Structure 1
Amino acid sequence: MYLLFVVLMVLAAILMCFVVLVQNSKGGGLSSAFASSNQIMGVRKTTDFIEKLTWGLAVFMVVISIATSYVIPHQTTNSSVIMEQAIEEQKTNPLNAPAGFDAPQTETQDAAATPAPGDSAK
């Protein structure tokens, strides 16, 4: 549904660009190129139609914007990206040592079998 509203909004925006360009401005605008449509419907009726189309598209865009805000996909779990990263880091780095540092090695049998520096084997 969200994707449909986004597509409709983009189409309405593109159509709005063309309608605004066709409107008769003080300098004539692009509407002077569409003089044949003015001859068919009359100058006043063409202006009324384009003006109504502009307002209609503006209202449509506002309504679609509001509707889109209600159907935005929401995340289903209540967790943050930062918290997920911290949990993942805790799993891979149990001592929370900065990256690049090795975790201290635990003592093994070999370390217990070696005599202390002050001890001499007699």
Structure 2
Amino acid sequence: MSTIFTLFMILIMIASILLVIMVMAQNPKGGGLSGTFGGTSSAQFGVQRTNDFMEKATWTLGAIIVVLILLSVILTAKPSQQFQQAPAKKEAPAPQTAPGTNNSTTMPAPAPAAAD
């Protein structure tokens, strides 16, 4: 059980580090790595493809992280934690009455008076 958890944690950390690298390599103004591969013009060969690749890789890594987290929770959860229900409350059994008597609520008979 712990080896599966460890494997998922390692995969999540690797994907997270790659995602950080992808986000840091992008320029918020749209230049990113394309600026280092031939100036600021995106008309040069391969530069627009670099921007597209970086954007797709960022979204893909984000989705992979979400899927890995969900899978790790589902696969490493203990069965007792998945369907944990409160025990049913037991009611006291109804009082047994003698045959032929009425079950409706009646006033108890008064106790006999003590002799003075």
Corresponding residue for residue 16 of structure 2: 13
Q: 1:55 aligns with which of 54, 59, 80?
A: 59
CA contact (8 A) 1:2 1:73 kept: no
If the length of structure 2 is used for normalisation, what is the TM-score?
A: 0.52
In structure 2, the CA distance between the partners of 1:58 and 1:41, relative to structure 1 (3 Å rule), is farther
1:62-92 per-residue CA deviation (whole Å, 9 max, x = no partner) reads 100100101235498xxxxxxxxxxxxxxxx
Matching residue of 1:68? 72
Instruction: Report the Cα offset of residue 32 of structure 1.
Output: 6.0
Checking the alignment, whether the CA contact within 8 Å between 2:8 and 2:68 is kept in structure 1 is yes
Task: Number of aligned residue pairs: give it.
Answer: 74
d(CA) in 1 for partners of 2:7, 2:46: 37
Alignment of 1:36-47 (within 5 A): 42-47=46-51
1:1-122 alignment runs, 5 A limit = 1-26=4-29, 28=31, 31=33, 34-35=36-37, 42-72=46-76, 74=78
- Residue 61 of structure 1, CA deviation: 0.4
**Which residues of structure 1 form unaligned runs of 5+?**
77-122
TM-score calculated relative to the size of structure 1: 0.50
User: One-letter code of the match for 2:8?
Assistant: F
CA RMSD of aligned residues (A): 3.0
Contact 2:34 2:50 in 1 (8 A): no
**Identity of matched residues, %:** 35
Letter in 1 for 2:27: N
From the superposition, tell whether residues 13 and 2 of structure 1 become closer, same or farther in structure 2 (CA, over 3 Å): same
